Structure 1
Amino acid sequence: MFQQDVIMNLLSNLQQDEKVDRTQPGISSQVRTMENGKVADTANSEKERSLLVKISELQSRMITLTDELIAAKTKHVQLQQELNALYYREEIEDVRDEDIEET
């Protein structure tokens, strides 16, 4: 039964190809298949190029964002150090003020 279905399917496909051949006389189905393949290859290569461009743009954006993140982290560390230094100075001044008040 399975073989019969496969054969019927193949015959049906061949008949459809013949109908197409009649609508475009002078052009063999092999030529049409090759032309369709070239169109598909061109579309695929254009899609691939487009995707490669997008990947490149995303990689560039990632590099930029990574650089910005590193700069922000560096600035954060710098500000944290300045804050700690101010806090330390304030603590020293408070201790001196307490010592002066005690004497």
Structure 2
Amino acid sequence: VCGAVKWLILEKQKPDGIFQEDAPVIHKEMVGGYHGAEPEVSLTAFVLIALHEAQEICKDRVNSLERSISKAAEYLTKRYQLLARPYTVALTSYALALTGHL
């Protein structure tokens, strides 16, 4: 799990905190509302939830974990008031509440 967390942070997180999919998704039915008007927010919220869940296990193995969580939460907080889709609002609200940013 910690190897995957490290890979996500080092390879997929942008400097502004966003997690962005850069490869095509073959089975779009499996992404749970990710595609739409706000895909970067939804994916960042999904990953933030996963990072939070892995935090207890990986905090001593992934040095940048806390900073990565903070950067993702800061990005979502900035975008929160501008969200339009109920699914994205719900997912982002959960991620921010889970990490103490809402």
* TM-score normalised over the length of structure 1: 0.23
* TM-score normalised over the length of structure 2: 0.23
Relative contact order higher in (CA < 8 Å, ≥ 6 apart): 2
